[in-house]
Structure 1
Amino acid sequence: MSSSSWPDWACLYHAYGSAEDVPGQLAALSSADPLVRGAAVSALSGNVYHQGTRWPASAHVVAPLVVLADTPTTPDRATVVHLLHAVALGDLRDDVLPFDPTRAFAGAERVGPSDEAAVLRVLFEDEDPDPDSVADVADAVALRWAADAYRAAERHAPSFLTWLEAPEPAVASRAAALLAWFPAVPGLATALAGVGFSRCTARASANLALAFLPSPPGSGELAALTACLASTNEAVRVTAAVALARRQTTALPDEALTVLVHADDAEVAGALPGWDRSLRGHVALALRHLGL
């Protein structure tokens, strides 16, 4: 996405007012200087993902971030994908997976342009703002901005599939974690099941993403997850058992239950890039899902 196809950022708002500073921050993500990149990530996070809230500019940041993540020469692509995840999903946690965007954003449907304009006027334009005047629509407007950011990411979700093959383990792992929120992407289950078994971090994250897909598992998914139960890598083994427990509850292989019980007893540690919950937390949820 070239800068010529960007929106008029000065006419958009982020958490601190005009978004005219966003293009420079996006450009800085390609800097060879890690300090410059770090400052840009901090600034963008505060601007378009401010304590979980998205803004009118947030949805427009998605496409440039996807381009950066698509570019193999972009420094620290994992951080770019992490930032994209924050912009697209805010502070949503895996408790709400499988995710139903229609239900999640239903409250945003009642928001009209005049409602958004009124909220922005109170926030950024009025010299003597009256927050009470927009109290009845402010939450719905914020939900509208969140929905716009999610839908913007959804349009680019097929690109996320290609990141599963990234050589950087953190990029592939974060891509799998991000894809769990976009279950309608064509070929998603096949792509997740096809992540190489030797790529342990990516494989484990793909297993967790498979755990949260809403549809019944296909033969390819079941074969991949079952094979992972024999992995010498603990994270791959445990996440496969978690996925089978969530998707194959009534026909759970004995090996999967054994892995889960052992992981619970041993208090398996660690977390995977892109996932807020620890492996131990996923094990606990899987056992609870089984009624244990």
Structure 2
Amino acid sequence: MNPLLGIDRVAWEGLHHAYGTARDVPGHLRSLLSADAEARSAARQALATSVYHQGTRWEASQAVVPWLVALVDDAATPERGSVLALLDAVAIGDRRDDQLPFDAAAAFAREATAEEARWFAGLDDWSDEDIEAGDRAAARWAADSYRRTAEHLDAVVRWVGDPDDDVAARAAALLAWFPPTAAATRALLDVPASRPDVRRSADLALAHSPDTDPAVDARLRELLPGFTAAVALAYRCGEALPDAALAVLADAADAALPAAVPGWERAPRGFVMLALQRLGLG
């Protein structure tokens, strides 16, 4: 089945993105299914600069979410990990892991009403007086994109078990930005150590999770000497960190680590250093 079936029923021409009307969005979304890699790359770039413009979301951003979800959910979609990265950008913006656990109520406290945001979107020219209104509108559009993504968390949870490691790792990282559910925590715990990229991403998601289920820490202990398991235990346990995890962190500070963990911007060594700082050892 075509994952974009019904896309033309959305009134795109009545929505705005960073460059005006969003009537071009369906074409870009369709190009994500192209057999031409350059066409797909151009479409991702066009979407990234229009519905996620330097971290700012717009009216059309939330409308893109279900279609990006449908594309990632279809195993036939090319470069699904890159599509999921775009979904992550629309959902979360340019927030960094130091804002985890994420407090959505505080983050979006200054959001405009739908009517105020709609008024701002229709402005052709902005005055200095409009800057605050613009900030409030941007908060509204960011909130709308986040909440729209939250409606599809069952799919994100499912993707943690996806056979594509890039998709699975990015899905695990995305879950860190939403309140934990039993299903989400179970999906993160169940990632096998035989999938190291996915396991590391799941560990980092659990590091930032407010879920206090003892099964989480027990599973992380089982995953030692994995360095991200040690990081997660340091984040979660503080001074009660098991000696075995502390030894892993001490060794990891000077060891060769992977260049990156898919879905996370901070370098792995940065997480190790932060874990040691939390213990007063950084």
* C-alpha separation in 1, matches of 2:214 and 2:70: 32
Other-structure match for 1:226: 221
* C-alpha separation in 2, matches of 1:103 and 1:139: 15
Q: How has the CA–CA distance of structure 1 residues 227 and 162 changed in structure 2, closer, same or farther, with 3 Å as cutoff?
A: same
Other-structure match for 2:15: 12
Contact 2:249 2:276 (8 Å CA) reproduced: yes
Other-structure match for 1:183: 179
Other-structure match for 1:99: 102
Which deviations, in whole Å up to 9, do the C-alpha atoms of 1:27-54 show, x marking residues without a partner? Answer: 1111111111111101111110010000
The one-letter code matched in structure 2 to 1:21 is D
Other-structure match for 1:263: 252
Other-structure match for 2:29: 26
Matched residue SS, 1:43: helix
Normalization by structure 1: what TM-score? 0.91
Which deviations, in whole Å up to 9, do the C-alpha atoms of 1:96-118 show, x marking residues without a partner? Answer: 0001111111111xx23442233
Deviation at 1:67, TM superposition (A): 0.4
Deviation at 1:14, TM superposition (A): 0.5
Do structure 1's residue 197 and structure 2's residue 186 form an aligned pair?
no
Deviation at 1:269, TM superposition (A): 4.7
Other-structure match for 2:41: 38
Normalization by structure 2: what TM-score? 0.94
Contact 1:10 1:19 (8 Å CA) reproduced: yes
Which of 256, 268, 284 is 2:273 aligned to?
284
Other-structure match for 2:121: 120
Contact 2:117 2:136 (8 Å CA) reproduced: no
Other-structure match for 2:230: 241
Deviation at 1:4, TM superposition (A): 5.0
Which deviations, in whole Å up to 9, do the C-alpha atoms of 1:55-108 show, x marking residues without a partner? Answer: 000001000000000111111100010000001111000010001111111111
* C-alpha separation in 2, matches of 1:262 and 1:251: 19
Deviation at 1:182, TM superposition (A): 1.1
* C-alpha separation in 1, matches of 2:126 and 2:150: 35
The one-letter code matched in structure 1 to 2:166 is A
Contact 2:28 2:47 (8 Å CA) reproduced: yes
Which deviations, in whole Å up to 9, do the C-alpha atoms of 1:202-247 show, x marking residues without a partner? Answer: 111111110000132422x2232112114xxxxxx11000000111
Task: Give aligned-pair identity as a percent.
Answer: 47
Aligned length: 278
Which of 48, 51, 55 is 1:48 aligned to?
51
Q: How has the CA–CA distance of structure 1 residues 163 and 55 changed in structure 2, closer, same or farther, with 3 Å as cutoff?
A: same
Other-structure match for 1:148: 144
* C-alpha separation in 1, matches of 2:59 and 2:181: 25
Structure-to-structure mapping, 1:127-166, within 5 angstroms: 129-166=125-162
* C-alpha separation in 1, matches of 2:182 and 2:110: 27
Contact 1:217 1:247 (8 Å CA) reproduced: no
* C-alpha separation in 2, matches of 1:209 and 1:6: 36
Other-structure match for 1:211: 207
Other-structure match for 1:66: 69
* C-alpha separation in 2, matches of 1:168 and 1:162: 12
Contact 2:113 2:140 (8 Å CA) reproduced: no
Which deviations, in whole Å up to 9, do the C-alpha atoms of 1:140-197 show, x marking residues without a partner? Answer: 1111111100001111111101111111211111111111101234421111010112
Contact 1:173 1:273 (8 Å CA) reproduced: yes
* C-alpha separation in 2, matches of 1:191 and 1:6: 34
Q: How has the CA–CA distance of structure 1 residues 203 and 8 changed in structure 2, closer, same or farther, with 3 Å as cutoff?
A: same
